[in-house]
Chains A and B, each alone.
Chain A
Amino acid sequence: MAVASTFLPRARIPRLNRVLTLVRREYASRRTYRLAFLLDLLFGVANLLVYYFISRTLEVAADSNLGVPSYFAYVLVGIAITNVIGAASTGLAYRIREEQFTGTLEALMVQPVTLTELSAGLAGYPFLFSMGRAAIYILVGGTLLGIDFGTTDWVGFVVMLLVSALAFGALGIILGGVMLVVKRGEALVGLFTYALGILGGAFFPISTFPSWLEPIAKIVPTRFAFEGLRRAIFLGDHWARDALVLLVMSIVAFPFATYFFARAVEHTRRAGTLTHY
């Protein structure tokens, strides 16, 4: 019997209201955990303070090629952007895992929404939350911890953030598909994104890596995101090449990611494991 691929992507433009509906539900649900919501933000700021005092205590080299004035300035951007990239690349996978646990995944899958709408809607809240968190970190760094954003090209910053989100969103869709199939994939997903952050230069300039690791770090996609964003923030220029690389990555990766996710859904329908966790 020929089994048609009913969930495989079609040329449908995602309907924004469906995507926003999924985001709103997640926000409404998260809002009921008010203390956790606040503690999450407080923990992030406390984490920044650790690096602030490390930077003040030790003379740690920053990356002067990127115009970064101090190690704290370097790591502030690294942490803020790691949050955004992390949410873009793991948000969907973790949300799928939660939906599997709570049993709502099947109820969502029988609704007339496309997989693109579902993916964007499920990943939307963690992504927006991470953007808000990054904005707060940068605000705290600028107003309370002495980072100078006077040279920042804010257009470049926003463009870099958007293309980074697109590129890592494609990765996120692939990881969402992995989670759907392997279920307990949290450790794999966590390890993968942590490695991407470290290798891309979130906390240390890649020039400090061992010589055998540096060439690998240079081709890691996160490197383009971190460097482009640091250039936009601290040099106020020279971010366009990084943005272009990430844009090309997104254009190449998105069709593959969407196809991969659809195949993962198809696999769970065939294996009968959509409701399993």
Chain B
Amino acid sequence: MSAGAAGPALVPAAVREEAVLTLTSLSRRFGKHVVVRDLDLRLEPGERVALWGPNGSGKSTVLRCVAGTLLPSEGTVQVCGFEAGSMEARALVGASLSQERSFDMRLTGRANLLFFARLRFGSERLAARRVQEVEEELALETIASERINRASSGMIQQVALARALLGDPALVLLDEPTRSLDAEARERLWQALERRTRTCVVMATHLDEDVKRCGRRVDFPT
């Protein structure tokens, strides 16, 4: 199955021609502590970038500013020309931020994925189809039938990736997505990302392999 070609794209072609992500002089402070200072970044369709740096250097903060759950202290964040956090921008972004604490623990991975797919697509049939596609692509059939509170960190991380990829988003935000994955699962993740040739990826990581496969790196100093 070609994930990149599955179903109608969410992003109109005209929108896809412009930069998918534009950060302009992005700064974020928490009180007096400046976590991100004057960050500029522009991603064209299909570009992948690794936000690379040690723990606490501001990588996740940037992801949250792009996802819209944090407001920049200064500067702007735009997704395909829409302000980050707006309805339009959220429809274009697939995010996997704090993977382990972002699901209903009493439900299976599949029930959680169907829930998020229904929120995204509205249509029951389309949601079920998208979930089935992403399950097949990431070989999640067994994992998805486990209740989340019985799944390991690595299993939950794979379900979180599946959620981020639902609906072929224009921009995928991943916070340390390979941290708990075994070698096979890591490879499936990379293949899924590489198959989506028009999808931008912003990945927070401190692993060299992730940086290499992203091809572009933004350094976050200590």
Contacts and interface: CB of A to CB of B under 8 A. Distances in A.
Contact of A107 (B68, B105, B106, B116): B116
A7 B89 CA distance: 12
Nearest to A114: B87
Contacts of A25: 104, 107, 111, 115
A28 B93 CA distance: 27
A255 interface: no
B102 A112 contact: no
Nearest to B173: A110
A10 B93 CA distance: 20
Interface residues of B, number: 42
A109 B123 CA distance: 20
Contact of A6 (B86, B106, B116): B86
Nearest to B147: A32
A109 B87 contact: no
A107 B101 CA distance: 9
Interface stretch (B46-54, B72-80, B135-143): B72-80
Which secondary structure dominates where chain B touches chain A? mixed
Q: Which of A21, A22, A28, A102 has the most CB of B within 10 A?
A: A21
Contact of A106 (B69, B72, B90, B123): B69
A252 B87 CA distance: 26
B98 interface: yes
Interface string A74-115: 000000000000000000000000000011101111111110
A104 B75 contact: no
A269 B71 contact: yes
Contacts of A275: 69, 98
Interface of B: 28, 30, 64, 67-76, 83-87, 89-91, 93, 95, 97-98, 100-107, 111, 115-116, 118-120, 122-123, 163
